[in-house]
């Protein structure tokens, strides 16, 4: 076949198709038109000369795109064009490209170069799956090739890879909530195949909580992995009408929070300090604002979230209960665009776009609040007299170094202020910065390197009484470095790497406030430590039914000087009377070394195409504890390193699950059983002094915890009605095993842990009323948390003496809440420059006064309290409906 070629400059073929003409080319012969274009664009045209001899351009006015001009010119002659590789546009008969729509095909795509046809036994087909409306990558999109029974899932940047033989094949691209695309591809050699997915003609914004899409929740060997994309989170009816990552995750089985205004979250009976939260591979210590009322992350900047609540990959460590991976968006490289949110509680702004087109791009985000009016609505008088504020700042720059390498730099800062009545002020802030480098060494191997810095600082000021007013400063800083290699083959994958972490823990510094304060200054020594790990993770597909995922992590932790350490008598309780000596360590001296192996194992056996059973087992170690006297994290808490007297956490978890998909994957069901055992959990002695304690080991007890439960989930992913039902039946218990009475709680018997909830039920639903209107609802019910109540009291020398029950013997009333939301989408026309949407939400619709705590305090005798000097009181933080209206603008 005879072809004529024309070389053009500057832009790729795909870019020139989108470019607009700068003059009127109407009446030009198509060949002459190509000749004129060759000086401004770098593109090669392939065509048979006699096909276009009679083609004359019409309607080739200025501002028309080349795509439009070519389609108008070629269509009457049954010709079409396709883009091949990066700089080639091929004209071919239309019959070669388009198929009947009822066959489900869109068009033929040529993958690879004709010059390399037959060169490879298996051809590497790779590309990126994008959301066509915003040009954003789609992590977790499913790619299926039927002819050779291959499938894969896109990574966080929307990238996928398949290895296929030469020839014609059919590829199906799907993503929950978007219209699937079926492509007929002619594979010639190694090449790219990029795909855009669009919303269905009648938009169904499904709330998607999935483990990757399609059959992957059934086929994947790893258990307890939950993937949630931000398109799903944005549709959830959450507090104040804003997407909230943390609250969204707590709607899932096995994940909960202590109550309203509770920072952090609990996973399968673990404490709040046992969860690792990563933002673009950098750890974040404070994941909430206003004690859990808002997530600490700007919603529009997030692309996806992974929560590992079961078997963690060997590459993740440092926490024993779970790991949450939050990925920032990949910025748009073609144009500047943004989103703004204006609400009655907070406002936010998000921008993204190119700095150098297709090379350097950015994202910027900011958020602030004006929430004092909300506190005025609370039933508790102290909270009504409180003040609160926060703000976030976020920035990220992506640099495409080459076709094989890209670099990402980001920074995040958040600041919180909370004044509790006229008693206590909390000032705390988080700083996180990171650098990530990805380099494709070969077609199968990827090298990833990262470096990050994280700091959390807190100041708690006690201002209730002038003569004792003081402030306490504490915090933690760490530097992480990580290197990782990944190999991906058709039936297996292998990841290996190493990481090193340096810690600086500030236990506390107390200073008096004001001239009248008699508070004594005190400064506890800083703690320093180094942690390291090497790991290897592999997955292998033995057969269509049997998959294995196995990993091994070896970690070590060095507590370093300088420090003065109390040495206690052997086989004696830790108290003032058993101190044997004080050992002095100089700066850099090794105080204590801990180390150990952490195996990870996942096994899947397929019963049929739509169901499987899975087994999981893992060991995790954690070398730091959060010292806290509450069931949820607060700024008054501080981190304590494992040392000679305090041991690190050691956790084992076993899991068994059954997974079944129904109705062509539109309905997913799962049943999971788990058992966890955690050693060296810190429990507190009665009357323990936790703040500014230079010998905290004397007020804590080394305890063992166990958790076990059943998790059920039913999800509907498609249709006008989407959502899920989840239920968890679980038990979390703690026991202290010591021969010394002062180190024993509840006679050494197992007792309920602080976050134990026997029943936990969630019903979340979204209903698409029309293309513009969506209504959503959440209903939550859970058993009340354990509590310790006074059982008897008596007077001794005019002093009221209270006798308390065994620890956590009683339980608070059950927690239940209903949330509703209504969303209206404004302009649906894609040509509009601004797309508004309006969300009206109501948190706690029927105003239930959920009890946060019950406490015993001194009171003034009166008729109202039956003339008692002491009384038992219930604290309900949010006992009223809280409406919110948010206007979101996309531009």
Give the percent of the chain with pLDDT over 70.
86
> Is residue 768 helix, strand or coil?
strand
Strand pairing partners for 890?
339, 835
Task: State how far the Cα of 798 lies from the Cα of 191, in Å rounded to an integer.
Answer: 87
Q: Round the average pLDDT of the chain to a whole number and report it.
A: 84
Q: Is the pLDDT of residue 118 over 60?
A: yes
Burial environment of residue 201 by CB neighbours within 10 A (0 to 12, 13 to 18, 19 or more): exposed
Least confident range of 93-102, 309-318, 723-732 = 93-102
> Is residue 488 helix, strand or coil?
strand
**Is 564:583 a contact under the CB 8 Å cutoff?**
yes
Instruction: State residue 443's pLDDT score.
Output: 67
Largest CA distance in the chain: 113
Task: State how far the Cα of 725 lies from the Cα of 729, in Å rounded to an integer.
Answer: 14
155 or 310: which leads in pLDDT: 310
Task: Encode 702-728 in three state secondary structure.
Answer: EEEEEEEEEEEEEEECCCCEEEEEEEE
The distance in angstroms from the start CA to the end CA of the chain is 48
Q: Hunting for tokens 């063992």 — which residue is that?
A: 704
Which tokens is 142 given? 């499913």
**Count of helix runs (H) and strand runs (E) in the chain:** 8, 58
Instruction: State residue 101's pLDDT score.
Output: 32
Give the pairing of strands 123-131 and 195-197. Answer: parallel
C-alpha separations of 111 from 82, 83, 108, 175 in Å: 11, 10, 10, 22
659 dihedral zone (left: phi>0; alpha: psi -120 to 50; beta):
beta
Exposed e or buried b per residue across 356-371, where buried means at least 16 C-beta atoms within 10 angstroms of its C-beta: eeeeebbbbbebebeb
304 or 524: which leads in pLDDT: 524
Q: What is the tens place of the pLDDT at every residue in 509-551?
A: 999 998 999 999 999 999 999 999 999 999 888 888 999 999 9
Query: Half-sphere exposure of residue 760, counting CA atoms within 13 Å on the CB side?
Result: 29
Confidence of residue 106 (pLDDT cuts 50, 70, 90): very low
C-alpha separations of 333 from 15, 205, 322, 466 in Å: 12, 26, 34, 57
Q: What is the tens place of the pLDDT at every residue in 242-294?
A: 778 888 888 889 998 877 767 789 999 999 999 999 999 999 999 888 877 78
Task: State how far the Cα of 517 lies from the Cα of 519, in Å rounded to an integer.
Answer: 6
Element (H, E) at 37: helix 30-37
- Closest-CA residue to 726 (of 800, 673, 670, 652): 670
Q: What is the DSSP string of 270-305?
A: --GGGEEEEETTEE-S--EEGGGTEESS-GGGEEEE
Q: What pTM value is reported for the model?
A: 0.79
Q: Is the pLDDT of residue 102 over 50?
A: no
Q: Hunting for tokens 């239920």 — which residue is that?
A: 727
- Closest-CA residue to 452 (of 243, 673, 285, 645): 285
Which tokens is 591 given? 């105080």
Instruction: State residue 451's pLDDT score.
Output: 98
Helices 30-37 + 66-74 axis angle, to 10: 160
Confidence of residue 782 (pLDDT cuts 50, 70, 90): very high
Task: State how far the Cα of 464 lies from the Cα of 421, in Å rounded to an integer.
Answer: 9
Confidence of residue 211 (pLDDT cuts 50, 70, 90): very low
Q: Average pLDDT in the 333-361 region?
A: 89
**Is 188:112 a contact under the CB 8 Å cutoff?**
yes
Task: State how far the Cα of 814 lies from the Cα of 782, in Å rounded to an integer.
Answer: 6
Q: Is the pLDDT of residue 650 over 60?
A: yes
- Closest-CA residue to 530 (of 613, 591, 604, 611): 591
CA dihedral 535, 540, 546, 549 (to 10 degrees): 10
Q: Where are the beta strands (DSSP E) in 329-469?
A: 337-343, 346-356, 360-369, 387-400, 405-420, 424-440, 445-462
Task: State how far the Cα of 660 lies from the Cα of 386, in Å rounded to an integer.
Answer: 49
Task: State how far the Cα of 707 lies from the Cα of 748, in Å rounded to an integer.
Answer: 17
Strand pairing partners for 283?
278
Q: How far is CA 471 from the centre of its chain?
A: 34
Q: What is the DSSP string of 166-232?
A: SEEEEEEEE-TTS--EEEEEEE-SSEE--EEE---SS------EESSSTTHHHH-S--SEEEEEHHH
Q: Where are the domains of the chain?
A: 3-197, 216-890
Element (H, E) at 233: helix 230-233
Instruction: State residue 179's pLDDT score.
Output: 75
Task: State how far the Cα of 138 lies from the Cα of 199, in Å rounded to an integer.
Answer: 13
C-alpha separations of 341 from 243, 771, 775, 836 in Å: 11, 21, 19, 10
Q: What is the tens place of the pLDDT at every residue in 562-607?
A: 999 999 999 999 999 999 999 999 999 999 999 999 999 999 999 9
Residues 6 or more apart in contact with residue 624 via CB below 8 angstroms: 273, 503, 505, 639, 640, 641, 642, 648
Q: Under CATH, which number does the domain 216-890 receive?
A: 2.40.170.20
> Is residue 135 helix, strand or coil?
coil
Task: State how far the Cα of 565 lies from the Cα of 583, in Å rounded to an integer.
Answer: 5
Instruction: State residue 4's pLDDT score.
Output: 35
Which tokens is 699 given? 């007020």
Strand pairing partners for 453?
433, 479
238 dihedral zone (left: phi>0; alpha: psi -120 to 50; beta):
beta
State the Rg of the chain over Cα. 31
Architecture of the structural domain at 3-197: Sandwich (2.60)
Instruction: State residue 605's pLDDT score.
Output: 94
Instruction: Name the DSSP letter for residue 813.
Output: P
Q: State whether the Cα torsion 41-43-44-49 is positive or negative.
A: negative
Which tokens is 353 given? 């776009």
Instruction: State residue 511's pLDDT score.
Output: 94
Task: Encode 405-420 in three state secondary structure.
Answer: EEEEEEEEEEEEEEEE
Q: What is the tens place of the pLDDT at every residue in 138-196?
A: 877 888 888 887 888 887 677 888 888 988 888 988 876 677 788 888 888 888 888 88
Q: Average pLDDT in the 605-633 region?
A: 89
At residue 697's C-alpha, the angle toward residues 693 and 699, to 5°, is 70
Respond yes or no on whether the N-terminal peptide bond of residue 181 is cis (omega within 30° of 0): no
């Amino acid at each position: 076949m005879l072809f004529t070629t024309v070389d053009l400059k500057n832009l790729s073929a795909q870019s020139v198709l989108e470019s607009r003409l700068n003059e009127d080319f109407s009446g030009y012969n198509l060949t002459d038109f190509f000749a004129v274009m060759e000086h401004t664009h770098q593109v090669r045209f392939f065509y048979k000369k006699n096909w276009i001899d009679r083609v004359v351009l019409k309607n080739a006015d200025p501002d028309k795109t080349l795509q439009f001009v070519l389609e108008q010119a070629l269509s009457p002659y049954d010709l079409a064009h396709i883009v091949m590789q990066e700089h080639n546009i091929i004209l071919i008969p239309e019959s070669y490209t388009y198929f009947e729509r009822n066959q489900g095909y869109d068009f033929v795509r040529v993958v690879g170069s004709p010059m390399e046809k037959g060169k490879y036994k298996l051809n590497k087909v790779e590309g990126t799956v994008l959301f066509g409306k915003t040009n954003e990558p789609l992590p977790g999109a499913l790619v299926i090739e039927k002819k050779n029974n291959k499938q894969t899932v896109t990574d966080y940047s929307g990238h996928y890879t398949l290895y296929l033989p030469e020839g014609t094949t059919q590829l199906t691209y799907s993503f929950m909530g978007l219209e699937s695309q079926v492509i007929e591809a002619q594979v010639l050699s190694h090449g790219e195949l990029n795909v855009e997915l669009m919303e269905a003609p009648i938009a169904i914004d499904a709330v998607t909580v999935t483990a990757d899409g399609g059959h992957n929740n059934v086929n994947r060997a790893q258990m307890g992995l939950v993937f949630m994309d931000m398109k799903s989170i944005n549709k959830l009816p959450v507090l104040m009408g804003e997407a909230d990552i943390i609250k969204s995750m707590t709607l899932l089985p096995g994940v909960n929070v202590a109550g309203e205004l509770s920072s952090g979250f609990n996973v399968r009976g673990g404490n709040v300090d046992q969860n690792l939260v990563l933002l673009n591979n950098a750890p974040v210590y404070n994941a909430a604002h206003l004690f859990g009322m808002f997530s600490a992350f700007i919603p529009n900047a997030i692309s996806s979230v992974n929560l590992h609540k079961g078997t963690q990959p060997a590459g993740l460590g440092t926490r024993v209960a779970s790991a949450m991976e939050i990925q920032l968006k990949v910025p748009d490289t073609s144009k500047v665009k943004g989103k703004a949110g204006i609400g009655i509680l907070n406002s936010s702004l998000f921008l993204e776009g190119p700095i150098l087109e297709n090379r350097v791009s950015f994202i910027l985000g900011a958020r602030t609040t004006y929430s004092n009016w909300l506190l005025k609505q609370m039933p508790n008088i102290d909270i009504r007299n409180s003040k609160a504020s926060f703000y976030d700042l976020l920035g990220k720059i992506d640099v495409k170094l080459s076709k094989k390498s890209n670099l990402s730099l980001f920074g995040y800062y958040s600041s919180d202020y909370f004044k509790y009545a006229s008693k206590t002020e909390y000032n705390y802030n988080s700083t996180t910065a990171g650098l990530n480098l990805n380099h494709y060494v070969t077609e199968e191997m990827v090298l990833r390197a990262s470096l990050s810095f994280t700091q959390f600082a807190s100041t708690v000021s006690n201002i209730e009484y002038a003569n004792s007013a003081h402030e306490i400063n504490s915090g933690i800083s760490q530097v992480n470095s990580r290197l990782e290699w990944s190999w991906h083959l058709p039936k297996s994958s292998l990841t290996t790497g190493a990481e090193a972490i340096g810690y600086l823990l500030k236990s506390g510094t107390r200073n008096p406030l004001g001239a009248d304060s008699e508070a004594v200054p005190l400064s506890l020594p800083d703690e320093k430590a180094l942690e390291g790990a090497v790991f290897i993770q592999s997955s292998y597909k033995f057969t269509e039914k049997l998959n294995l995922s196995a990993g091994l992590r070896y970690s070590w932790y060095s507590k370093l000087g300088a420090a003065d350490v109390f040495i206690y008598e052997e086989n004696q309780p830790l108290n003032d009377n058993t101190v044997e000596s004080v050992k002095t360590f100089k700066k850099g001296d090794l105080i204590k070394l801990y180390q150990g192996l952490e195996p990870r194992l996942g096994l899947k056996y397929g019963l049929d195409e739509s169901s499987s059973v899975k087994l999981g087992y893992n060991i995790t170690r954690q070398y730091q504890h959060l010292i806290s006297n509450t069931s949820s994290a607060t700024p008054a808490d501080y981190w304590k390193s494992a040392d000679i007297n305090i041991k690190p956490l050691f956790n084992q978890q076993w899991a068994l699950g059954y997974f079944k998909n129904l109705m062509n994957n539109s309905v997913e069901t799962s049943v999971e059983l788990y058992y966890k055992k955690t050693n060296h959990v810190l429990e507190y002695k009665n009357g323990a002094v936790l703040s500014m304690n230079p010998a905290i080991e004397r007020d804590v007890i080394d305890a063992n915890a166990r958790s076990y439960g059943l998790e059920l989930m039913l999800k509907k992913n498609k249709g006008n009605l989407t959502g899920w039902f989840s239920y968890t039946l679980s038990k979390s218990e703690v026991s202290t095993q010591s021969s010394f009475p002062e180190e024993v709680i509840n006679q050494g018997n197992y007792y309920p842990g602080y976050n134990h909830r026997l029943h936990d039920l969630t019903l979340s639903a979204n209903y698409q009323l029309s293309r513009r209107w969506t209504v959503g609802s959440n209903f939550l019910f859970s058993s009340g948390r354990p509590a310790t109540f006074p059982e008897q009291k008596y007077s001794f020398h005019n002093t009221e003496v209270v006798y308390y029950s065994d620890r956590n013997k009683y339980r608070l009333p059950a927690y239940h809440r209903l949330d509703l939301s209504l969303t209206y989408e404004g302009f649906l026309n894609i040509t509009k420059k601004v797309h508004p949407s309006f969300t009206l939400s109501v948190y706690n619709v029927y105003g239930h006064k959920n009890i946060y705590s019950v406490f015993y305090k001194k009171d003034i005798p009166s008729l109202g309290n039956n003339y008692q000097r002491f009384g038992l009181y219930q604290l309900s933080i949010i006992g009223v409906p809280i409406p919110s209206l948010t206007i979101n603008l996309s531009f």
